[in-house]
Structure 1
Amino acid sequence: MQDPSESARNPISVAVVTDKLGLGVLLYAYAMLLGATYLFGYWRAFGFDVFPYVSSIDYISAPLNRLLVLVSGPILFALVLFSQADRAASKFVVRLSLYLIFLYALSFAIDFYQAASRFVLSDFHYENEKSVLVISVILFAASCGFTYRLIRHESNVLTCATALILVQLGGSLSAGYSDGKAIFSGAANVFFLDNRDLCESGGVRDWVYLGRFSSKTFFMNTIDKRLCVTDTGSFNLKSRKFAEGL
């Protein structure tokens, strides 16, 4: 156990620990924001508001199939910590930030293209689906503006972080909508509910697994796109590829 008198003699070290703890809380909140952005894009494709059912841990675990979304928070955390640890390394931080922004911009371009293509090819859209694409473009354009400012005028950590955060949020939103729209339109890499009676007694149509949040599990009917919300925690899933021999 640390002697209180020793803490009093080392106020700088205590302040550093406190700052890092505060930064950790801030970055945890940012990771939740990324997850919320992904979920917003994902469920917009189904015209459903899932947030009343979502717990705090669900925001982190929702985009498990999206590596860049998952590592966005830790990357920003490491970047800020590194810049605080060594002020003389600011030029290196700026250069690293530019590489990361380019990487996320490339990821955004791919996800946005897939999202926009699936939107155009879809015969049916829920209200305000287009807003996901519009918000994604606005976030990306704002990131480009801060990146230009970073290159031409300012080279500071705040500008780096702002540009990186905006492009990460835009990419997360596009990725979520792209994934949701792919499932809504009949993606091959989904899972069906094995026991159809769980959602519809005597039903003959398949139900696609959409996700589980808190105590609720969500499925979608493959024909009329109805949603099934159940409290049942025990159920079996089967791969569509296996079931249909795809």
Structure 2
Amino acid sequence: MATTQITASSISARNMALFEGLRPSAVQFPCVGHVKIGNLTQRSYKGMIVKAATVVAPKYTAIKPLGDRVLVKIKEAEEKTEGGILLPTTAQTKPQGGEVVAIGEGKTFGKTKVDISVKSGEEVVYSKYAGTEVEFNGTKHLILKDDDIVGILNTDDVKDLKPLNDRVLIKVAEAEEKTAGGLLLTEATKEKPSVGTVIAVGPGPLDEEGNIKPLTVTPGNNVLYSKYAGTDFKGKDGSVYIALRASDVIAILS
């Protein structure tokens, strides 16, 4: 907002044309006395203030993802804990979900064209640090590859996640709280679990011709998976879930 102080010496008949065309809402006259535009005198415009604000229209009004890319509107980070405690910026959880705004035309395998696996309006979960963040229409968005989307989640409970591509959703087994000798383990020393039960699976990866290859694991399988793989989530039931690629599943337990 620019503010200009105009004095008697700065206005003359020669530069009065500068005020022609100004809308009444754009000019304020805090001076005492009646002021008539077009017949200003030295006595009437003493102390007059003119304020002008310029609204710059955005240069770009649309973003169209190309190929197998997807434009996602990022969910805002939680600013409070469940108990209502405000979180500082450094402690806020990095958002990993959002709404699909636009999709590309898909990708081609030889002569086979494969469509994007999500649609506009769907709520999705994506891999940490994936894609390129852009600010558009005053809101943060992410442009990322279709393959970086972990799954579709149209509810607020992670157990309802629908994995995509070669992803698998696993309910993590609880960590052992005692050693073999019966000693209690503190939270910091508990072994990170790498065993869990498969809750849902994606359709499978695509081969070189664009055909889907079904996964070898199915819901209900107890599996062993690689440590530190995938993305962890806390479910509403208090359980920990992990979404990872099927290639990170080492074995089926029975």
- TM-score tier by shorter-chain length is under 0.3
Greater relative CO, 1 or 2 (CA 8 Å, sep 6+): 1
Question: Which one has a bigger Cα radius of gyration?
Answer: 2
TM-score under structure 2 normalisation?
0.23
TM-score under structure 1 normalisation?
0.23
